[in-house]
Amino acid sequence: MLEKPSDPRAFGTFWYGGRLDALEQACAHSFIKHGYRLILFSYQPIENAPDGVELRNAADVLPEELTKSFLLDGKPHLAPFSDLFRYKMIRDCDLVWTDLDVLMIKRLPDELPGDIVVREEQGGLNNAVLHIRSKQTLDRLIEQAMAVAGRNLVWGQTGPILLTQVVNELREKIETTSHSVFYPIEHYDLFKILLKGSADECREKCRGAATIHLFNNILSKMGYWKDIAPPAGSFFHEKLEETGGLSFFRDVYPENVMIHMTENYRMRLSGQALGIKAVMRQLIPSIGRTWHHYHPAQNS
């Protein structure tokens, strides 16, 4: 049985592998820098965890063989397992879950509810930072996540989708927190934290925030190398400097390289969107012509 920390705001997270990238190191260190305990669960020894991070055996929460039990696109994927792991960790250890791509930029507000369930700007619940006191809710999340092991899942099925569904179904008194406290920068604006020209806008958005979600999957799609720090003058660089995280990175991106990287990423997204719109522009009239061919208008 794992020892439960005396501080209810101690954090826990999970890493699969033996070495952290600089970005994950900086994020982990940011919690320590602000005076919180961070317990890092892993099945393998982690050789470069930042000083102050407490290492625990993930097998004390779930057996390692479950890491291969959840499928996305027909292949084993760690994301659904990570969802299950956080529910079980919260249930057994009473830790606040944080993803390792969450950077703490200030201490949690005193008026925060006992539950940390964050509602995104679009209305859904996000589980990148999560704490639920209700054992009934946690047991339901664990049960329903385990029930889909071995099935081919869609992205988020055991995470935000399941969390939103269970919280709405049980209708327990779980007070949600605004995204402005934990996810002030939405995924579609993430590129702005990397650009010097958007620093003022990001500072304003993060005025009341305790953390920033860095959306690791989006950084990967951009082609961002996580051992290189963002350009000097960018909001992300500024926050890494404030939290002592810059020391983990081996170099710094030049500003012009980051501008091109973010522009290329946004162009790819726009191209995909335009492609879908073009298909729909062709498809909808085609459906209309087919309907009118087989169902001609009747004369009154």
Every domain of the chain and the residues it spans = 11-252
Helix ranges, the chain (H): 22-33, 78-93, 135-147, 160-170, 179-182, 199-205, 216-222, 235-243, 255-294
Give the distance, in angstroms, between the CA of residue 217 and the centroid of all CA atoms in the same chain.
Answer: 8
Give me the count of residues in the chain: 300
Strands 152-153 and 71-72: parallel
Its pTM stands at: 0.86
Report long-range pairs for 30-33 (Cβ below 8 Å, ≥24 apart). Answer: 30/103, 30/104, 30/105, 30/243, 30/245, 31/98, 31/104, 33/104, 33/243, 33/244
Structure tokens at 117: 């369930």
Question: The CATH number of 11-252 is which of 3.30.750, 1.10.3470, 3.90.550, 1.20.120?
Answer: 3.90.550
Per-residue pLDDT for the chain (300 aa), expressed as one digit of tens each? Answer: 454 544 558 999 999 988 999 999 999 999 999 999 999 999 999 999 999 999 999 999 999 999 999 888 888 899 999 999 999 999 999 999 999 999 999 999 988 888 999 988 888 899 999 999 999 999 999 999 999 998 888 888 999 999 999 988 886 778 889 999 999 999 999 999 999 999 999 999 999 999 999 999 999 999 999 999 999 999 999 999 999 999 999 999 999 999 999 999 999 988 764 454 444 444 444 334 433 444 444 443
Residue 110 to residue 210: CA distance in whole angstroms: 11
1: amino acid identity, one letter: M
pLDDT of the residue at 283: 43
Residue 183: is it exposed, middle or buried by C-beta count within 10 angstroms (0-12/13-18/19+)? buried
The answer for 194, left when phi > 0, alpha when psi is -120 to 50, beta otherwise, is alpha
The residues, any chain, with a CB within 8 Å of residue 186's CB and separated by 6 or more, are 120, 121, 179
Residue 212 to residue 102: CA distance in whole angstroms: 6
Residue 17 to residue 157: CA distance in whole angstroms: 24
pLDDT of the residue at 1: 46
